[in-house]
Structure 1
Amino acid sequence: MKYRPADVALAVKRLQHRHHRALSRALAPLGLSLVQWDTLRHLHRKPDASLHDLAVLTFQTDQSFGSLAVRMADRGLIERVPGPGRAVRHRLTEEGERLRMAGQEAADTVIATSFQSLTAGQLDQLGGLLDTVLGPDPTV
């Protein structure tokens, strides 16, 4: 079968939508939304991240992420600490780390199930092709 770029783009979007729905269902028993878990995951990888960095990493505006960060701090999942100048840095709390790990287990299951029909070689090929299309990630 010959794929057009628009067909591939739609397939990528459909897979992303499927993952979002499945991840939302898997995270719900933990009391986490997908964006909350994503925030915890990024803070684990990038401790002391700024509000702007986290907004970019979670595909949100600074304003919407600021509201989310306040709600997550109120729940005891993250703490907001003063940074240089007027900057505010963010860190995981013990509860945030506990939920991040539980969420990671749920996410690993969802993703493994999603790609289970691919061989290891096919998965490597797909990952390589996506890396080529995406190019370097300036947020890493």
Structure 2
Amino acid sequence: MTVTAQTTGRLLKRAQYRNHRAADRALAEIGTTLVQWDALRAIDESPAASAHELAVTTFQSDQSFGTLAARLVAQGLVERSPGRGRRVEHRLTDAGRQMLAAGAAVTAEVTARSFAELSAAELETLYGLLARVGEAPD
């Protein structure tokens, strides 16, 4: 097989898909999903961010993030409050912080298994390459 940007992209997508599926299965055991946990992580890192900023950070549309945020509010994991102008700010509740911490432990374990075949040097090389690709203009 010839290695091309397209075959490399498919391989990257497959690795991401396998890692995400494993994370979703493991997170289901603690009562959440990867999408929900990632939203909790984003809110925790930027509590004053707008819904739009959080949608961009979590690779979702504004509408999808709004639906997700409403679900997290209904579960008692997130609180919303008015911000500047029309901005709605999001903050984790105590239950949200607990779920975030539990999910962080789960995802750390899953990710460690996903990259277990790589040496520290290989992992560093992969990180550098993906950082370059991730910064490429659209």
Q: Which residue of 2 aligns with 1:25?
A: 25
**d(CA) in 2 for partners of 1:2, 1:131:** 23
- Under a length normalisation based on structure 1, what TM-score does the superposition of the two structures give? 0.92
5 Å-filtered alignment, 1:1-140, equals 3-135=3-135
Give the 3-state SS of the residue equivalent to 2:99 in structure 1: helix
Give the 3-state SS of the residue equivalent to 2:89 in structure 1: strand
- Under a length normalisation based on structure 2, what TM-score does the superposition of the two structures give? 0.94
1:45 Cα deviation (Å)?
Answer: 1.3
Which has the higher mean CA deviation after the structures are superposed, 85-94 or 42-51?
A: 42-51
CA root-mean-square deviation = 1.5
1:4 Cα deviation (Å)?
Answer: 1.2
Q: In 2, are the aligned partners of 1:49 and 1:91 still within 8 Å (CA)?
A: no
**d(CA) in 2 for partners of 1:25, 1:3:** 31
Q: What number of residue pairs does the alignment pair up? A: 137
Structure 2 unaligned spans of 5+: none
